Amino acid sequence: MKISALFAASVLTVSAFADVELPKDATPVLAAMRAELDHSLAALKSQPTPPYFLSYEITETRRTAVSSSFGALVSSNESTSRSLDIDLRVGSPALDNTHAIRGAGGFGGGGNTGGGSASIPVEDSPDAIRSTLWYQTDRRYKSAVEQLTRVKANVQVKVEEEDKSADFAAEPAQSHAEKPVAFTVDRRALEEKVRRYTAPFAAHPRIYSATASISLGVETRWYVNSEGTLLQTSQPTCRISVNATTKADDGMDLPRFQTYFAFRPEQLPSDEAILADVKQIIADLAALRTAPLVDPYTGPAILSGRAAGVFFHEVFGHRIEGHRQKRAEEGQTFKKMLGQKLLPETFTVYCDPTIPKYGPVELGGHYLYDNQGVKGRRVPLIDHGVFSGFLMARIPIDGFPASNGHGRKAVGSSVVSRQSNLIVEAAKPISHAALKAELLKLVAEQKKPYGLLFDDIEGGFALTGRSQPNAFNVQPILVYRIYADGREELVRGADFIGTPLSAFSKIVAADDAPGVFNGVCGAESGWVPVSAVSPALLLSQVEVQKKEKSQERLPLLPAPGAKSE
């Protein structure tokens, strides 16, 4: 193996792993990473600005993915890839190259190590793996030294920072290795499944897109760092998605979808169950086309469990991610509210990545160790209505000097604090029928013509910065007006909007049937799998605005070979 001039004169004088044995079931990948990390630390120790921390993370993704449209196969592929992420820090934990450069714009700051990912050989060849690690470490080191110079200059010319906590927190070494999960898939059987899932849509000419996809895979991660941590984890995931879209006469696009998540293929729903959902999607789309357009509204509403989970994820979860409390650009909604009451005392909220399922439903936000080698753990967030803490990566903030296992990222991104399994529980739930009765009481008290039920949802987003309204938008796809006599009327085109403190103050009750939302969340550290669990919630007041609407007319040509609906 070639050694650059930078490394050639050095000898192994430093070891992060003195007296540390490789864990049982460790593969040659972990051994190669350990050896090269020791080599890099020893070589760079003699530099004027040596690293004080170095970590390698290799992520292997083995995946089989198939998709179809209107009963015909669209794509079918199998892939295996490995990617390397490096966190190399120079300076000191108090001030290092990842420190936010204020005034630079963009996401930046709070753990921004930069550099992206690099491809790693998919074969367990120690020499090939070490060669890539060696070269990429050299690149990242040079970049880190340059960045530290910019950081120090920025600190000198900007105003004093409000939060003077360090840039990095030390953590105890961890050692854990799982055997890589075996991965064999009958791709032809999956192709037949997705064909079956979308074939029924072909008989409906007013459905303009209809797709189904199945993705089965295993993500194996190897992580080593200069503190002596050695980790090897392997997690299978299985996702099915069925999506269809129609259009109302006024041009509004109307989506409907169903997703399914499990850790093993045998835990996914049966074909019969999925086809029953397809039948319901077709019926829902037909009803949505003729449903009246929603009017702007303020008044009481019920959020189903899934909708309430997304509501908490957007309104609360993003605002209690620790790194946002350091950034001057962030709204920091809850930063000064520790110990204050946010919800009725019957409510408890926590994040817990160690829970693989809630009741019978598996949770996509489950993991054992985060992307900084810290063991996942339960984090209390609201205890009997009182705000109690933040989600933390290894980026300290005032009053929270250590990680609590929520440093997460996608491949190629820099770690920040992120949500995992966000769980809302109510100590005194009532039945859904009783929740609906309470809604109608509020409708009468407020002299409203109806209340709303947000029954299903496609997602949402939150604006957490100071340069724009600190607001949220939860995007329901099935919304009903509930009238005083109990009658329900489907409406379309509603967006549930608001600001976090106002919305939280309107929560008054919860039902006894928690719902689960499994999805992926995008933020500055990329897309990561998350889950949100919540009972249905009654809010005394919500605000609804009209959804953005396409101006495109319906198709001028009739669908080929289809009978009119």
Distance, in Å, from the CA atom of 387 to the CA atom of 336, rounded to the nearest integer, reads: 10
Any idea what the Cα angle at residue 173 is, between residues 170 and 175, rounded to 5°?
A: 155
549 sits in which H/E element:
none
- Kindly state the tokens that stand for 155: 């600190």
Angle at 380 between CA 518 and CA 439, to 5 degrees: 65
Residue 419 confidence (pLDDT): 97
Contact 295, 309 (CB under 8 A): no
Interatomic CA distance for residues 177 and 233, integer angstroms = 6
223, 57 Cβ separation under 8 angstroms: yes
Decide: 512 and 477 in contact? Cβ < 8 Å: no
pLDDT at 109: 42
3-state secondary structure of 358: strand
Per-residue pLDDT of the chain (565 residues; tens, 9 = 90+): 333 333 332 333 346 766 678 999 999 999 999 999 999 999 999 999 999 999 999 999 999 999 999 999 999 999 999 999 999 999 999 999 999 898 765 444 444 555 689 999 999 999 999 999 999 999 999 999 999 999 999 998 888 888 889 999 999 999 999 999 998 899 999 999 999 999 999 999 999 999 999 999 999 999 999 999 999 999 999 999 999 999 999 999 999 999 999 999 999 999 999 999 999 999 999 999 999 999 999 999 999 999 999 999 988 999 999 999 998 777 788 888 999 999 999 999 999 999 999 999 999 999 999 999 999 999 999 999 999 999 999 999 999 999 999 999 999 999 999 999 999 999 999 999 999 999 999 999 999 999 999 998 877 777 777 666 677 888 888 999 999 998 999 999 998 888 888 899 999 999 999 999 999 999 999 999 999 999 999 999 999 888 887 778 888 777 886 565 5
Which DSSP letter does residue 466 get? S
The three-state secondary structure class of 135 is helix
**For residue 86, what are the CA distances in angstroms to 70, 89, 151, 411?**
43, 10, 19, 10
Q: Which ranges constitute the DSSP H helices of 254-357?
A: 271-290, 305-315
Query: What pLDDT is recorded for position 561?
Result: 64
Q: What are the sequence ranges of the domains in the chain?
A: 5-58+85-169, 297-546
pLDDT at position 565: 57
pLDDT at position 564 is 55
**DSSP calls for 499-534:** -HHHHHTTEEEEBS--EEEEEEEEETTEEEEEEEEE
Exposed, middle or buried, 202 (CB in 10 Å: 0-12/13-18/19+)?
middle
CA-nearest of 494, 492, 496 to 460 is 496
Question: What CA–CA distances, in Å, run from 310 to 252, 458, 500, 519?
Answer: 23, 9, 13, 10
pLDDT at residue 198, rounded to an integer? 98
Pairing verdict, β 297-303 and 95-96: unpaired
Q: What is the dihedral of CA 336, 379, 410, 31, to 10 degrees?
A: 130
Exposed / middle / buried, residue 85 (Cβ in 10 Å: 0-12, 13-18, 19+): buried
- pLDDT value at position 105? 53
